[in-house]
């Protein structure tokens, strides 16, 4: 007879819910723009949990997609901060400080 611990261990390895959540949140993080930072962060922890308890394709792809989405969210935030903020300041007539000191 199999012990209760072995049965519980087998059930944990067959449960892919954390990996699936990581993949879904990874896809959302890629397509959602700035909110991708939040989706990527949360999805990363789901995928990492799945990776620690049962390595499979769901956990691997969850990690990959959430990291890509997180990086894209950070890049979009930086883009919006510098370039869109600069365009708004030009529309308001304030001086452009990004070229300050450039000779």
Residue ranges of domains in the chain: 12-92
Least confidently predicted of 17-21, 33-37, 79-83, 88-92: 88-92
Mean pLDDT for the chain overall: 85
- For 27-46, give one letter per residue: b (16+ CB within 10 A) or e: bbbbebeeebbbbbebbbeb
Looking at the predicted structure, is the pLDDT value of residue 99 above 70? no
Structure tokens at 33: 């723009």
pTM (predicted TM-score): 0.71
Long-range contacts, stretch 79-82, CB < 8 angstroms, 24+ apart? 80/34
């Amino acid at each position: 007879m199999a012990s209760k611990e072995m049965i519980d261990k087998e059930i944990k390895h067959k449960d892919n819910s954390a990996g699936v959540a990581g993949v879904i949140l990874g896809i959302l993080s890629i397509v959602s723009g700035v909110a991708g930072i939040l989706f990527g962060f949360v999805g990363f922890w789901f995928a990492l949990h799945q990776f620690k308890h049962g390595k499979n394709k769901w956990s691997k792809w969850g990690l990959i997609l959430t990291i890509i989405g997180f990086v894209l969210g950070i890049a979009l935030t930086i883009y919006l901060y510098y370039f869109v903020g600069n365009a708004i300041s030009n529309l308001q007539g304030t001086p452009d400080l990004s070229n300050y000191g450039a000779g």
